[in-house]
Structure formats: structure tokens, C-alpha cells
Amino acid sequence: MTKSRKIVLLVLAMITATFILYLLSGGNNGLNFSSRNQEPISARTYPLAQLQQDFKQFQDTIENKHPMLYTNEDELSKLFEKQYALLNSDMNELDFYRVLSPIMAKLNCGHSNIIISEEYEDYLREKGRLLPFKVKVIDDRIFVIQDLSAVGLSAGTEIKSINSNPAQSIISIFLANLTSDGANQTRKYEVVNMQFNDLYHNLIDSSESFVVTYVDPQGFDLKEATLPGLAVSKIRGHNLELSSLGAYLDWNLLKKDISKEIHPNYALLNAKSFLVDSKDFKQVTDEFFQEVADKQIPNIIIDLRGNWGGPPKSSVLLYSYLIQQSEKYFTKDAPFYYYQYKKAIEPAENKYDGNVYILTDGICFSTTGHLASLLKSHNLGTFIGEETGGSFLCSGNARSSTLRNTRLRLYCSVDTYQVEAAGLTAGRGVMPDYEVKPSLDDYLTGNDPVKQFALDLIDQK
């Protein structure tokens, strides 16, 4: 064997050995964490250097890409420093997540979020144990709506503390870590009510057993019970997926959630999603307004509650049925890919000029917030319900990235969207003309006070 051939073989052997060592180390900085990576994700901790690296990636992405419409950049900078100082080598994924999530909340951008890794999401789905009851937060108090434990907590029971965490403290932590546009709070409360159990696990306490103090609906005495955690599948269905909005959503439902009701004195359009296929949305909407015109129905209710938004095409279509003259949708500064919606929108052939009632809640976000702000600005309906989660100005088109070591998923807005609405407050949602909130009794009985309020107004005409 020639000397040069021996050298080539030696070099190849060294490269192969180095590559094998790299694979054994998990591909991270040449350090051997193979045994650590075999640990369950819930117990796995990360070296300080890796956490610092992920924090830097997180910070660089936000500082270089986010529009910061509603962000105080000086306060954000101080918060980066404060949270960075909390890093230590004993942190697991949730520990690190709890360091980053207050920073995301400080951006005041509902399209930007940090969410748990896919591996941790899978772990929760397969092995996680969460609080064994469903609750609603009403006036900053926590009430049981459905008990899933063996203890038999009555519906309407008020939870006072969980594992020594007072109810008020739990709610405050949630609000300080959830994202929303500007100073809006209604979206945050909606998310809390949707996924209280997951939020408690991710942000406060990942225990699998819970000491709960509570007060029965009929009593005044403080009681205590120890409840074992419940499998995630018993709390939320497998059809729910963790979205970039930081909420578990049923995508299949959102892609078909539009329906209509026709009554002698009113018609109801349930526009619960703008993610519905645009052809399907158009068919239902066209049929709705055609029937309303044919039957000369004097009142319509448009229910936007629960509508997280979606592409603007269907929103523009619905808007065209409610305007009486040409109106613009997006401002000229909107991203170039929405150029067709910067032009004037013409009224639909069957445009409606009767009484319009619009039902809203804190989930009305993104495109739904845009539509609501346009309708409000042009006085095209009476708003009933709660402040919307979005309005005329937001940042969005969130770009996704994965933090290198912990694999937390980051969604960072990069574009700004504004519609041609006037007279509204930046950083707040669209305010209802009549604020109507479900009570505890409404939740327990399934009553819909918002819709009923609209029907009562119609009856008074």
C-alpha cells in the first residue's frame, strides 16, 4: 500500500470516527448527551450553554423580524435581560418555556407565540396527566363546569386553590404569559377558558396529583380534596392540535364551520371561521342573502363568535353584502400579496340594507377583527357580546422556527396589516354596543345570552 493511500485511509477513518461521535452526542456541540436524550422529555434537563444558545436564537429572531406595533422596546429589552438571568443548568423544557413566555406576552402580538416542542406535545397526548375537571373563569373566579374526577365536585363549585396556588395567582400568571394584540384581554380569557388544564400544566405546575381547596355551590365551608391527574384524552379530543395561535384547535371543524338559519322575522348566519373553503363559504353566504332578499327578512344576525380568522377572501365577500357603496378593505400599506384587496370593494348584487346584529367575543381575531372594525367604523350593524380579540391594525404572517436544542416552536410576526377603519382605538378590540357575557348559570344550562339579547332587540322593533 502506497504512503499516499495510507494517508487517505487514515483521514477517512478519522472523519468516520468523528461523525459517529457527533451522532452519539445528539449532534450538539460535540458533547455526549445520548443518555440524556433517552430520558422522558418531562424529566430531561439541558446544559446552561444550550439554553443560552436557544435564548439567543429566540431573542435575535424577535429583535430582527418582529414589527413591534404595540411593543415598548425599552421594556422589552429590560425583560430580555431579566429573563436571561434566570437560566440555569437544571432547567427542563417547561422551565425554559416559562422563561420565554412572558417575553412573548410583552410583544402584545396575538399572532406571535412560543409553544411546547412536538415531542412534549406527543408526550402529553400519550402520557400526560392534567387537572381532572373543566372550568370557566368568571370575574376572575374559577368555577367547575364539568367534574371528570371520582370525587364528585358539583358543577358550579368554586376552586379556591390548586396545590397551594391561589386562584387569583393562577389567573394572573396565565394573563401575564398569554399573547394578544395591544392591551386586549378578552382573547386571553377565552384561551384560559378553552385550555385551563394545559395552561396550568405548562405555566405553573406539571404535577400528576392535585390538592384542591374549594367551596360547594350551596355551601360556605372551605373543603379540600386530593385529585389524581387525568389522561389528556379524557379532557380534550385527539382531533385538537396545538396551533401557532397558542390554542388547541379542531382544524377539520374550522374548515367547514359555516351555517345558516332562516326564520320569519330574522335570519342567522353562523360565520364561525374564515378557514372554510372559499367556494363553500361563498355558496352558503350567497344562498343566505338570496333567501333573505326573496323573503324580505327585516333582520339578520351574523354570529362571528369563535372565529379566529383566516384568509381575507371570505371576509371580503361577507363585507360586500353589508356595504351600501364602494368601500376599501386594506390600506395601501398592506403587504403586496393582498393587492387585490387594496382596491375598492363593490357591494354585492343582493346587498342587505335591513337591521344587522353582529355577535362577537374575544376569539374574533385577525381577519375577523378586521371585518368587525370595518363594520363598526361604517356603522353597519349593532354589536352584541364582548370586545373582539382583534381590530383594524395587527401584525401577522408569523414565520415559524424551532429552537435548536429545546425544540420549542417559535412563531414570529413579520408583516403589518391595517384596514380602512376610522374612529377606533389602536391596541383594543372592537367594543360592543351592548356588552353581554355568559354567567355561571348560562354555562351550566347551555343558555346563550348573547344570541337571546339580539332576539330580544328584534322583538322590540
Domains and CATH numbers, the chain: 1-38 (no CATH), 48-249 (2.30.42.10), 251-390+431-460 (3.90.226.10)
How far from chain centre, in Å, is Cα 245? 4
Q: How far apart are CA 366 and CA 349, in angstroms?
A: 27
pLDDT at position 39, please? 80
H/E element, 418: strand 415-418
Q: How far apart are CA 136 and CA 160, in angstroms?
A: 13
Express each pLDDT in 142-175 by its tens digit: 999 999 988 889 999 999 999 999 999 999 999 9
CB 223 within 8 A of CB 214: yes
Angle between the N-to-C axes of helices 167-177 and 186-194, in degrees from 0 to 180, rounded to the nearest 10: 120
How far from chain centre, in Å, is Cα 178? 8
Rounded average pLDDT over 350-370? 98
Q: How, if at all, do strands 129-130 and 133-138 pair?
A: unpaired
pLDDT at position 26, please? 43
Cell numbers standing for residue 79: 425583560
pLDDT at position 31, please? 41
CA angle 388, 179, 235 (to 5 degrees): 90
Mean of the per-residue pLDDT values for the chain?
92
Express each pLDDT in 176-221 by its tens digit: 999 999 999 999 999 999 999 999 999 999 999 999 999 999 888 9
pLDDT at position 23, please? 42
Q: What torsion, rounded to 10 degrees, do the Cα atoms 332, 337, 341, 342 define?
A: 20
Under 8 Å CB-to-CB from 244, ≥6 apart: which residues?
111, 113, 115, 398, 400, 411
Q: How far apart are CA 113 and CA 280, in angstroms?
A: 30
Which has more confidence, 327 or 33?
Answer: 327
Under 8 Å CB-to-CB from 429, ≥6 apart: which residues?
181, 184, 186, 187, 362, 364, 369, 372, 387, 388, 389, 390, 391
pLDDT at position 14, please? 54
pLDDT at position 19, please? 47
CB 355 within 8 A of CB 406: no
CB 394 within 8 A of CB 245: no
Q: How far apart are CA 185 and CA 195, in angstroms?
A: 16
Helix (H, G, I), strand (E, B) or coil at 458: helix
Q: How far apart are CA 279 and CA 395, in angstroms?
A: 27
Rounded average pLDDT over 375-390? 98
Region of 248 please: left (phi>0), alpha (psi -120 to 50) or beta: beta
pLDDT at position 12, please? 53
Measure Cα distances from 79 to 101, 106, 397 in Å: 11, 8, 25
Q: How far apart are CA 176 and CA 110, in angstroms?
A: 13
Measure Cα distances from 176 to 77, 102, 162, 203 in Å: 17, 6, 18, 10
Which one-letter DSSP state was computed for residue 41? T
pLDDT at position 35, please? 43
Express each pLDDT in 235-247 by its tens digit: 987 789 999 999 9
Which one-letter DSSP state was computed for residue 337? G
At residue 300 the predicted structure's pLDDT band, cuts being 50, 70 and 90, is: very high
Question: What residues does 360 pair with on adjacent strands?
Answer: 385
Positive or negative CA dihedral for 398, 240, 91, 19? negative
Cell numbers standing for residue 220: 360556605
